[in-house]
Amino acid sequence: KGQNLLTKKSLTPASDNLSHVYTLIVKPDNTYQVLMDGEEKAAGSLYDDWDFLKPRTIKDPEATKPEDWDERAKIPDPEDKKPDNWDSIPEQIPDPEAKKPEDWDDEDDGEWEPPMIPNPDYKGEWKPKMIDNPAYKGVWEAPDIPNPEFEDDPLIYKQDNLKFVGFELWQVKSGTIFDNILVTDDIEYAEKFRDETWGAIKDAEKAMYDKIEADKKAEEDAAKAAEDAEKDEIEDDYDDEEGGDEAEGADEGAHEEL
């Protein structure tokens, strides 16, 4: 009471630009249905999908993990041994491809040494391989016990103090309209009301919407065609100018030969 309880289910509304009718049916057995345009989109239990009540069970706050409880899924293999030559492999080695520069003078530059490069045989610090832990018991969790604060309420569905219907929205586009809000305990009347309101306009609305979209597409196609035609005309004019220049040059060459 006095709290805003959010549903644990994700309900996705329609994402088109048409009108839709949403119906919530709450039943005396504390189950519910969510309909969109008369078709079920979600259903469940008020107990499970909202936190109307405190949980029936809780983790035992007095429980402690046993000292011998092993949560390690993997352990180092006690039979694995480090190879004898492991520590003798250097991390870097002289570059075998390096050559002393021809202008290198040992007296002036000192004794030449090839640069060091990472050793491809170096394997780093040795660690034994990991194996499944035969004593692994899983991650320990405290056992569940009855919640002393739990109080059952078979009348969750019956909320006598409700006086308002609210809409909490987050959207980036304006123009959403809410209308024909009905609260009733008669499902048949709600269906009749839906058919007489939304049902009476949905086909005409869809036809109008389709016409608007078709007209919009026709305008866009016409504008695109005009733009393409203008580009083609500009390209043709440019080609004509280029052709005229070439013809002029050829004519001048002919006069010079004469």
Give this prediction's pTM: 0.61
Task: Tell me the average pLDDT across 234-242.
Answer: 69
Residues above pLDDT 90, as percent of the chain: 59
Distance (Å, rounded) from C-alpha 252 to C-alpha 256?
6
Cα first-last separation, the chain: 108
Q: Are 54 and 151 in contact (CB under 8 A)?
A: yes
In this structure, is the dihedral angle defined by the CA atoms of residues 98, 99, 103 and 106, taken in order, positive or negative? Answer: positive
Q: Which helix (H) or strand (E) holds 231?
A: helix 198-257
Q: What are phi and psi of 184, to 5 degrees?
A: -150, 160
Q: Pick 234 or 236 by higher pLDDT.
A: 234
- DSSP 3-state assignment of 137? coil
Task: Tell me the average pLDDT across 220-225.
Answer: 93
For residue 24, what pLDDT is reported? 95
- DSSP 3-state assignment of 135? coil
For 18-47, what is each residue's pLDDT tens digit? 999 999 999 999 999 999 999 999 999 999
For residue 241, what pLDDT is reported? 66
pLDDT band of 252, cuts 50, 70, 90: low
What would the DSSP string read from start to end of 180-216?
Answer: -----S-HHHHHHHHHHTHHHHHHHHHHHHHHHHHHH
